[in-house]
Amino acid sequence: MYAVGEPCELCGCAEPPRTRFPSVGIVECGSCGLVYYPGGVDARATYTLDYFHGREYQDYPAEKPWIQRNFRARIRDLRALRPGGRLLEIGCAYGFFLELARRHWQVSGLDISRECVEHARGVLGLDVESADFLDLPDEPESRDVICLWDTIEHLARPVRVLEKAARWLRPGGVLALTTGDVESAVARWRGERWRLIHPPTHLFYFSRRTLGQALTGAGLRVDRVRYVGYTRSLKAMLYGMLVLRSPEREWAYRGLTLGGRLDLPVPLNLFDIMMATAVKPLHS
What the chain holds in terms of domains, given with CATH numbers, is 18-229+269-279 (3.40.50.150)
pLDDT recorded at residue 1: 47
C-alpha–C-alpha distance, residues 277 and 169, integer Å: 13
The pLDDT of residue 118 is above 50: yes
User: Phi and psi of 200, rounded to 5°?
Assistant: -95, 10
Return the pLDDT at 264: 73
Residue 244: per-residue pLDDT? 63
Q: How confident is the model at residue 31 (pLDDT cuts 50, 70, 90)?
A: very high
Task: Give the pLDDT score at 245.
Answer: 65
Using N-to-C axis directions, what is the helix angle for 208-217 and 158-168, rounded to 10°?
A: 50
Measured on CA atoms in the order 86, 91, 95, 97, is the torsion positive or negative? negative
Percentage of residues in the chain having pLDDT higher than 90: 73
Taking the model in full, what pTM does it have? 0.92
- Of 89-93, 200-204, 247-251, the range with the lowest mean pLDDT is 247-251
Kindly state the average pLDDT of the residues 137-152.
98
Q: Which residue has the higher pLDDT, 49 or 13?
A: 13
Q: Give the 3-state secondary structure of 150-208.
A: CCHHHCCCHHHHHHHHHHHEEEEEEEEEEEECCCCHHHHHHHHHCCCCCCCCCCEECCH
Specify the pLDDT at position 259.
Answer: 66
Q: 248 vs 115, which has greater pLDDT?
A: 115
> Which residues make Cβ contacts (< 8 Å) with residue 174, sequence separation at least 6?
78, 81, 82, 144, 145, 146, 223, 277, 278, 279, 280
User: Over 80: is that where the pLDDT of 145 sits?
Assistant: yes
**pLDDT of 181-227, one tens digit each?**
999 999 999 999 999 998 999 999 999 999 999 999 999 999 999 99
Position 3 scores a pLDDT of 52
